Amino acid sequence: MLNNLILILSFTLTTFVVAMILYPLYIKLLRRLKAGKTIRSDTATWDKAVIFSKLHEHKAWTPTMWWWLFLLMMVIMVAVSLVSQKLWWTNYHLWNRQETYIILFWFFSMWLIGLIDDILNILNVWKVKWLNMRAKMLGLILFSWWISYWFYHVLWIDYINLAPLFGIIHLWWRFPILTFIWTIFIVNAVNITDWLDWLAGWLSVFVLITFAVALFISQRYLATTVLWICIATLVAFMFFNINPAKIFMWDSWAFALWWLIASTAYLLNMSIWILIPASIVFLIFIIDLCTSGLQMFWKKVFHHKLFPIAPFHHYLEYKWIKEYTIVMYMWLIQTILTVTAIIVIFRQFL
């Protein structure tokens, strides 16, 4: 276990150092290409986003498309692992069928939706200036279905682990339906929790740490290394996302990173009970998704808004709470949730 821990730390530190070197160069390149963010003027339901535009107009044209560097870092580290294993420097590489195929496949494929979304936003195409909701949901549905298909028909997983409350429950044909819904839920929840500098990024780091700890104690060291590479890249990104941000994430990172998180949750479900700790660490994202969903439902059914603006963190901003104050409170809450989730994870191994 000690050797595995040393290798994980080595990959993590190397990723962080390389990312810190590349980020300034990448930001300069994005500025030269004028790959900046345009602020949306319409909501998902085609109403004018007056409040949102006013609150965030100062962030227009900040460089975006952070996902290219995120993708590059993962490619570099997987390649390094392959070379080091060939040279007998390490005993394993990160391209492994049992642990990392599924999460790396989704990581390298799911950013395609985000790519289209970013390009449309930068070129100011279509009415909402990004990939419209119908097209985006179509992509979400197709790829979420494929994740569910893989676990059910390829890995033959048909159960959820609800220990210590109910134990292992076999769902049979209902398992892919449940995972399909949960995948869409996760991606949308994190995608909504955005637009405040340092918010979504650090909340994501906490979730990744929780899952990385769960993977490590369940002895899935390769998958643990992949998640720590993501964590190191995100932490390096945070240095350049301090308000006022020099670079944004936007939808691409959510689609790639959070499909990776979803598939990791299903991987963990095979060996430990992860549903309860995952629900704890996702609480802030769940609140944001629920407030946003209620807002859309109210507008469709009752033809007026339930809140002046949604999701919840934008409502706090609307109430004249400073952006950095909201972010700090969210961090503190997420820290408590993360520690609680990790304690719950450790509890099952005692």
pLDDT band at 45 (very low <50, low <70, confident <90, very high): very low
Which pair of tokens denotes residue 253?
Answer: 């990172």
Provide the sign of the torsion angle of the four alpha carbons 94, 118, 192, 245, taken in this order.
positive
Q: Measured between alpha carbons, how far is 211 from 160 in angstroms, rounded to an integer?
A: 17
Distances in whole angstroms, Cα of residue 292 to Cα of each of 34, 103, 117, 288, 299: 31, 28, 20, 6, 11
Average pLDDT, the chain: 78
| Nearest Cα to Cα of residue 91 among 169, 10, 164 | 10
Give 298-321 as a DSSP string: HHHHTSS-SSSSSSHHHHHHHTT-
Q: What is the pLDDT of residue 122?
A: 60
For residues 112 and 68, is the Cβ–Cβ distance under 8 A? no
Give 189-227 as a DSSP string: HHHHS-SSTTHHHHHHHHHHHHHHHHHHHTT-HHHHHHH
Residue 186 has pLDDT above 80, yes or no: no
Between these two residues, 78 and 142, which has the higher pLDDT value?
78
Which pair of tokens denotes residue 143?
Answer: 């790829």
Residues 4-22: tens digit of each pLDDT: 888 899 999 999 999 999 9
Percent of the chain with pLDDT over 70: 75
Q: Measured between alpha carbons, how far is 27 from 39 in angstroms, rounded to an integer?
A: 19
Q: What is the pLDDT of residue 13?
A: 95
DSSP symbol at 322: -
For residues 269 and 279, is the Cβ–Cβ distance under 8 A? no
Q: Measured between alpha carbons, how far is 178 from 176 in angstroms, rounded to an integer?
A: 5
Beta-bridge mates of residue 63: 36
Q: What is the pLDDT of residue 46?
A: 46
Q: Is 57 exposed, middle or buried (0-12, 13-18, 19+ CB in 10 A)?
A: exposed
Question: Which pTM does this prediction carry?
Answer: 0.82
Residues 215-266: tens digit of each pLDDT: 999 888 898 999 999 999 989 888 887 767 677 666 555 667 777 888 888 8
Residue 43 has pLDDT above 60, yes or no: no
Between these two residues, 325 and 54, which has the higher pLDDT value?
325
Lowest mean pLDDT among 10-19, 59-68, 135-144: 59-68
Q: For the chain, give the number of residues.
A: 350
pLDDT band at 37 (very low <50, low <70, confident <90, very high): low
Distances in whole angstroms, Cα of residue 272 to Cα of each of 167, 265, 276, 284, 336: 10, 10, 11, 23, 22
Residues 83-88, mean pLDDT to the nearest whole number: 84
Distances in whole angstroms, Cα of residue 282 to Cα of each of 151, 185, 192, 233: 22, 11, 13, 21
- CA atoms lying within 13 Å on the CB side of residue 189: 24
- CA atoms lying within 13 Å on the CB side of residue 318: 14
Residue 126 has pLDDT above 60, yes or no: no
Q: What are phi and psi of 3, to 5 degrees?
A: -60, -40
For residues 152 and 159, is the Cβ–Cβ distance under 8 A? no
